[in-house]
């Protein structure tokens, strides 16, 4: 690990000999030539060991000043000075040793703080030669100023004082020129203007992305991990909505079990992914994670069954706002209660211990609960919108049907009137009495027509009465050649049938049947019921029906009336044997 120093450096020594001081000055001069912008200050020995914390504490160092303390011959601070070691390294230099403490905070008896960046202890078991002395001090100071910890093997332990963790690292290095030159090279690199950019580029090029970003900035790694996890979570939510929303399973319980099982499964996978991205000592084995989390994921099945069972108690006639509140609250409680129970009963679970599990779980549960509420609201809104549009469409269809019926009725009246007036004109010069009778019958017929205006249905009795007037008119026209009969089954006279459904059938029988023969002509109208159907038959003894579909204005009107009123529920049939007849079957109309 390397760290760049502040611009101002103060170096303090304890128990340094004259040779030690010369070596230190020589090293500092070398440092100054390497990095001219550094402001180096050297404070030589303190006479009273107990006084140095107070001396150093006279002025708290500014944020841009680094302080270092070097002990010689293993001189230790007074027992009254308490120390908390946050970083520790030790090197063996031949027969001699030095020990470094990183970020050491010393506290004297009066709670006065000594602000030190690093401490260095030298112990010379034998008085070294001047050249060796310089090498030892040069090696230590460059290591000190570069704050280098090589062969880093840290184990996290709890300290006995206050429970603060510390990292312990042991260095086993042989002192040589190459090692010192490497430190000097690294020192120059660390204090170059673009070191940070170079170092980051080196880390990303040399090491995997996950290791590099965690090494350079744990906070940045955490932010990136959160973005990745949340983006994947959003993608999973969108895919889940497209998969489950609007798709009803055959067994309704699976509409609850499958989404919740999927939620638990992917939630734990994303939690493991987050741990993997923020800790470069962690391996991500999705197969192992699936097997490990499968028992916990099975909780989704239990939650789904529970939610399904309780939601059946929410009545459909409840106010929608109340239903929405109950369902959202139920979703939240069903998902959060099992985790609360686990948190209370077993706080030693690894996941809960390392990830503050409840905090990381609460957010997704709230999002899922509110998201379900939004989907329920949107579904309710869309259903109401569809119903509203269906009502509007039904109203338009009804208006269209009414308009078409009015059009058909307007076509029937002129058509029938045209034929009747032709008959009256034909009789005017032959028989004035019959002409008068025919005109009166036509008047009675049209009185019924005008009186039933704006009505789409009439009773069978009313329609039969109209047909009688029509047949009376036709009988006057044909004389004794035409005989007719009308039979209606008992108890169905008040059944409703479409207006003008009978007259076109009778008119068709006379026009295309009886008028084509010279002998005795017969028309019979029968109306019966069979279960839920009314059966209307018009029989005549005219020529047989031609093969194929019957057409003509009269029958087309009948087809249109049946289509508008009954859609596909009515039928029209015609036969020539044993009796020529046309038959209509229509559903009975409820009152």
pLDDT confidence band for 40 (50 / 70 / 90): confident
The pLDDT value recorded for residue 487 is 93
Judged by average pLDDT, the poorest of 90-94, 289-293, 510-514 is 90-94
pLDDT confidence band for 584 (50 / 70 / 90): very high
Per-residue pLDDT for 419 more than 90? no
| Span 158-216, pLDDT tens digits | 333 333 233 333 333 445 666 677 777 877 777 777 878 888 888 889 888 888 888 88
The pLDDT value recorded for residue 587 is 92
Name the most confidently modeled range: 234-238, 300-304, 357-361, 567-571: 567-571
Contact 288, 268 (CB under 8 A): no
**Using CA atoms, how far apart are residues 555 and 568, in angstroms rounded to an integer?**
17
DSSP 491-515: T-TT-EEETTSSHHHHHHHHHHTGG
Reply yes or no on domain 431-587 having CATH 3.40.50.20.
no
Predicted model pTM? 0.47
The mean pLDDT value for 2-20 works out to 71
Question: What are the domain boundaries of the chain?
Answer: 8-190, 193-310, 431-587
Each as own residue / partner, the long-range contacts of residues 554-560 (CB below 8 Å, 24 or more positions apart, any chain) are 554/415, 554/504, 554/505, 554/507, 554/508, 554/511, 555/504, 555/505, 555/508, 557/408, 557/411, 557/412, 557/500, 557/504, 558/501, 558/504, 558/505, 558/584, 560/404, 560/408
Per-residue pLDDT for 536 more than 90? yes
Per-residue pLDDT for 269 more than 50? yes
* Higher pLDDT, residue 194 or 84: 194
- Please state whether beta strands 39-43 and 8-14 pair in parallel, antiparallel, or not at all (unpaired): parallel
**Using CA atoms, how far apart are residues 486 and 467, in angstroms rounded to an integer?**
9
* Higher pLDDT, residue 435 or 113: 435
The pLDDT value recorded for residue 19 is 78
pLDDT confidence band for 486 (50 / 70 / 90): very high
Per-residue pLDDT for 528 more than 90? yes
469-494 exposure pattern, b = at least 16 Cβ within 10 A, e = fewer: bbbbbbbbbbeeebebebebeeebee
pLDDT confidence band for 583 (50 / 70 / 90): very high
Contact 263, 368 (CB under 8 A): yes
The pLDDT value recorded for residue 132 is 63
Nearest to 46 by CA among 85, 4, 15, 77: 15
* Higher pLDDT, residue 506 or 287: 506
Q: Which residue has the tokens 């269209």?
A: 400
Report the percentage of the chain scoring pLDDT > 90: 5
């Amino acid at each position: 690990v390397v760290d760049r120093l502040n611009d101002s450096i103060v170096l303090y020594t304890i128990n340094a000999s004259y040779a030690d001081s010369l070596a230190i000055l020589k090293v500092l001069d070398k440092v100054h030539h390497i990095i001219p912008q550094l402001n180096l200050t050297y404070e030589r020995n303190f006479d009273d060991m107990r006084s140095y914390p107070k001396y150093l504490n006279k002025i708290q160092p500014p944020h841009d000043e680094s302080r270092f303390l070097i002990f010689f011959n293993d001189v230790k601070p007074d027992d009254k000075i308490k120390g908390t070691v946050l970083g520790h390294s030790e090197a063996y230099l031949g027969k001699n040793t030095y020990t470094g403490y990183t970020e050491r905070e010393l506290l004297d008896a009066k709670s006065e703080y000594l602000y030190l960046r690093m401490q260095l202890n030298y112990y010379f078991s034998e008085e070294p030669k001047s050249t060796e002395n310089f090498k030892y001090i040069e090696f230590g100071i460059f290591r000190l100023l570069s704050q280098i910890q090589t062969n880093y093997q840290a184990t996290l332990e709890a300290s006995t004082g206050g429970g603060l963790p510390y990292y312990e690292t042991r260095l086993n290095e042989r002192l040589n020129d190459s090692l010192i030159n490497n430190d000097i090279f690294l020192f120059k690199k660390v204090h170059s203007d673009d070191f940070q950019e170079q170092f980051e580029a080196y880390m990303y090029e040399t090491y995997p992305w996950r290791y590099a970003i965690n090494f350079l900035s744990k906070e940045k790694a955490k932010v990136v991990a959160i973005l990745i996890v949340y983006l994947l979570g959003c993608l999973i939510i969108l895919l889940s909505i497209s998969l489950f929303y609007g798709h009803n399973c055959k067994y309704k319980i699976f509409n609850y079990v499958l989404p919740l099982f999927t939620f638990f499964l992917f939630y734990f996978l994303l939690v493991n992914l987050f741990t993997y991205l923020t800790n470069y000592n962690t391996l991500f084995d999705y197969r192992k994670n699936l097997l490990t989390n499968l028992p916990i994921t099975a909780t989704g099945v239990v939650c789904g069954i529970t939610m399904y069972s309780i939601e059946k108690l929410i009545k459909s006639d409840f106010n929608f706002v109340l239903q929405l509140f109950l369902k959202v609250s139920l979703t939240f409680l069903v998902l959060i209660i099992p985790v609360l129970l686990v948190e209370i009963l077993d706080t030693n679970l690894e996941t809960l211990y390392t990830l503050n599990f409840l905090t990381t779980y609460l957010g997704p549960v709230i999002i899922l609960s509110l998201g379900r509420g939004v989907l329920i609201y949107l579904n309710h809104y869309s259903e109401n919108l569809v119903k509203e549009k269906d009502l509007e469409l039904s109203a338009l269809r009804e208006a269209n049907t009414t308009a078409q019926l009015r059009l058909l009725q307007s076509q029937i009246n002129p058509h029938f009137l045209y034929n009747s007036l032709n008959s009256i004109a034909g009789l005017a010069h032959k028989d004035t009495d019959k002409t008068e009778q025919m005109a009166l019958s036509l008047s009675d017929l049209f009185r019924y027509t005008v009186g039933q205006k704006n009505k789409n249905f009439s009773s069978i009795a009313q329609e039969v009465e109209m047909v009688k007037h029509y047949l009376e008119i036709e009988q006057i026209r044909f004389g004794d050649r035409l005989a007719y009969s009308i039979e209606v089954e008992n108890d169905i006279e008040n059944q409703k049938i479409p207006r003008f459904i009978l007259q076109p059938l009778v008119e068709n029988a006379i026009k295309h049947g009886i008028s084509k023969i010279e002998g005795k002509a017969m028309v019979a109208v029968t109306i019966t019921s069979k279960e839920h159907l009314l059966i209307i038959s018009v029989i005549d003894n005219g020529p047989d029906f031609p093969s194929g579909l019957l057409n003509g204005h009269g029958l087309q009107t009948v087809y249109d009336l049946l289509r508008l009123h009954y859609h596909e529920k009515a039928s029209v049939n015609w036969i020539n044997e044993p009796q020529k007849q046309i038959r209509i079957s229509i559903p009975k109309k409820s009152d």
